[in-house]
Amino acid sequence: MNADTLRTTHVPAGLPPRQSRPAPTVVRLFSDHGWAARMWFAVAVCALFAALVEPYLVIAAYRTRERVVILDEAGTFHVSPLLNFEDATQLHTSQAILACLALFQKNPTGYDYPDLLEKMYLPDALEKAKALRSAQAAEFSAKQIHQKVEIQKIDILQTRNDLVLVEVTGQLPRVGVFNGQPFPEAPAFKVRFTLVRNPNLTANGRFPLAVWKFDLL
């Protein structure tokens, strides 16, 4: 074979060799208009989707109640929805009942629940309650009066984010001895409590509200 003769190699028919595409870079975003158009289209679709979904997510977040987890003395966890202070009507009612028990349930020697009174009544209200008890001490001792409280109605008059105004009506069943004869009586009562957040929750965690002041009507 002549050294000057060219050798021909036949290539089978097929697809032309693929050219490697440059990796997506910031430079390509400006140089490759086709690729840039696809990228900007994808960004626009994502932005549109986010704009459509965002209102639903915001509404769902507002409707979802926060929850609190409480661990009791027995080691049991309790999960409960968290209410706004103004909406916690059941809490306001239960604390008003405890305030009545502490203030009105008495015996010939003093209060039936002195510890409850100390924990639920703030200093000014506590001094007023003790003054009321001192004014009645002679009668309760002489007649050996035992007084209970029966609540007939509780009205939540006003709620704010820092206090609650509650009015309670009922009667005070009494049993005593006068001139050697037992006697019963049940005078009516109406009291208005101003309840605030208990400032000493560390020591009085069972009583989230405290009596700031009260008025006998």
- Tell me, what's the pLDDT at 91? 83
- Tell me, what's the pLDDT at 81? 57
- Tell me, what's the pLDDT at 37? 77
- Tell me, what's the pLDDT at 107? 95
- Tell me, what's the pLDDT at 188? 96
What averages of pLDDT result for each successive group of 10 residues across the chain (217 residues)?
58 56 60 73 86 78 58 57 65 92 95 93 95 94 95 92 91 92 94 89 74 94
User: What amino acid occupies position 23?
Assistant: A
First to last CA, the chain: 131
- Tell me, what's the pLDDT at 189? 96
Whole-model pTM? 0.62
**What token pair was written down for 79?**
């999960």
- Tell me, what's the pLDDT at 42? 84
Q: Any idea which fold 85-216 has?
A: Nuclear Transport Factor 2; Chain: A, (3.10.450)
Location of structure tokens 């979904």: 53
CA distances from 122 to 30, 47, 81, 100 (A): 72, 56, 28, 15
- Tell me, what's the pLDDT at 200? 76
Query: In terms of C-beta density within 10 A (0-12 exposed, 13-18 middle, 19 or more buried), how is residue 181 classed?
Result: exposed
Half-sphere exposure of 3 (CA within 13 A, CB side): 0
Q: Please, are residues 188 and 169 in contact by the beta-carbon 8 Å criterion?
A: yes
Compute φ and ψ for 173, nearest 5 degrees.
-60, 130
The three-state secondary structure class of 8 is coil
Q: Please, are residues 167 and 191 in contact by the beta-carbon 8 Å criterion?
A: yes
Domain ranges of the chain: 26-63, 85-216
- Tell me, what's the pLDDT at 193? 97
- Tell me, what's the pLDDT at 41? 83
